[in-house]
Structure 1
Amino acid sequence: MSKTRKAEFRPNDYVVYPAHGVGQIVSIEEQEIAGLKLELFVISFEKDKMTLRVPTNKAATVGMRSLSSPDMVDKAMATLRGKARVKRAMWSRRAQEYEQKINSGDLLAIAEVVRDLHRSDDQREQSYSERQLYEAALERLTREVAAVSGNDESRAQQQVNEVLGARAA
């Protein structure tokens, strides 16, 4: 198993780590931890000024994946164009579901959160926690869109805003 994983991710590859979003593999290194030799992916999350070390044999278990295909990005954009689906559950329950979707690393689930929490200017104000979840989902989405398209984040942000703006019109 570990051999196939290693071939899948190489230094300089962009990957998605569910709890942190898009990062770049800086290197693959060996470290001895508690007497065991472990091979680790060293992943840099530039924007968060964070480096993560993930054992190569655990990458699949933790849900680390390659960037989405351009086709998947198109599906995420189509999701954004859809009508917001807000359940009639208590906010605490919905917030928990949104949080799980954001941390799933699934681009479509993240797009659903952006779609459901997006407010156009003429709509009611968002609560602080709503805004926090919306911004977290939006950031994850735009970072992956940017990495897949090879554009910078501001261009990806513009792309996402255009789709959301068109929906509101």
Structure 2
Amino acid sequence: MFQVGDKIVYPLHGAGVIDAVEEKEILGKKQRYYIIHMSLGNVQIMIPADRIDDMGLRHIVDPDTMENVFLLFNDDPSASSGSWNQRFRMNMDKMKTGDIFKTTEVIRDLAQINKEKSLGTGEKKLLDNAKQILISELVLVKEIEEEQAIQLLDEAAHC
């Protein structure tokens, strides 16, 4: 499904590039692994090839789709009903899908709440994580540096 050089997104971790596909023996079991270099930081991860569907890996979006993603920041935030922990679980479920539009909704909605009142520690971390995931994909889609991606996101999200 994926090839060396493919730019992919790993839900809850961010975007990266497949550097290699290697067979490794771990705990006495030989298995093929995708070796992925993440776009932010100097991190490399290994994902078992037979588990990629379960993990929700996907190719990065194209530049046109990324433009549509940024348009979501102009939409009104979703109604935040319930307590912060219900909202946290709902937002975490969105993030787990790996869907870039749902991740953007999380950023938009939490950034709006943060403007009105201070977010709790858990939601602050979730907002930061969602931003990092979107930034990591933006770096690969637009082929720009992290600082430029941060600036683009901050301007679009009105952070």
User: Which band: TM-score by shorter chain?
Assistant: 0.7 to 0.9
Unaligned runs of 5+ in 2: none
2:147 & 2:115 partners in 1: Cα distance?
24
Pair member with larger Rg: 1
Task: Report the equivalent of 1:77.
Answer: 70
Q: C-alpha deviations, 1:38-96, integer Å up to 9, x for none?
A: 22111123635543222223222321111112222122111111111132111111101
1:60 counterpart (38, 53, 56): 53
1:24 counterpart (17, 28, 34): 17
Compute the TM-score of the two structures, normalised by the length of structure 2: 0.86
- Identify the range of structure 1 (43-52 vs 84-93) with the bigger mean alpha-carbon deviation: 43-52
Provide the secondary structure at the position in 1 that maps to 2:77: coil
1:161 partnered with 2:128: no
Contact kept, 8 Å, 2:113 with 2:119, in 1: the verdict is: no
- Identify the range of structure 1 (155-164 vs 89-98) with the bigger mean alpha-carbon deviation: 155-164
1:142 & 1:129 partners in 2: Cα distance?
20
Q: Which amino acid aligns with 2:133?
A: R
1:15 partnered with 2:8: yes
Compute the TM-score of the two structures, normalised by the length of structure 1: 0.82
Q: What RMSD over aligned residues (CA atoms) do the two structures have, in Å?
A: 2.3
Contact kept, 8 Å, 1:101 with 1:110, in 2: the verdict is: yes
Task: Report the equivalent of 1:42.
Answer: 35
Higher relative contact order (CA 8 A, sep 6+): 2
1:113 partnered with 2:106: yes
2:151 & 2:60 partners in 1: Cα distance?
20
Percent of residue pairs identical: 26
Contact kept, 8 Å, 2:77 with 2:112, in 1: the verdict is: no
1:97 counterpart (80, 90, 106): 90
Contact kept, 8 Å, 2:15 with 2:39, in 1: the verdict is: no
1:49 & 1:103 partners in 2: Cα distance?
23
- Identify the range of structure 1 (151-160 vs 38-47) with the bigger mean alpha-carbon deviation: 38-47
> Does the C-alpha gap of structure 1 residues 25 and 103 become closer, same or farther in structure 2, counting only changes over 3 Å?
same
1:148 counterpart (141, 145, 152): 141
Q: C-alpha deviations, 1:3-40, integer Å up to 9, x for none?
A: xx1xxx22232211113111221211112356654221
Task: Report the equivalent of 1:51.
Answer: 44
Unaligned runs of 5+ in 1: none
1:112 & 1:120 partners in 2: Cα distance?
12
1:88 & 1:149 partners in 2: Cα distance?
35
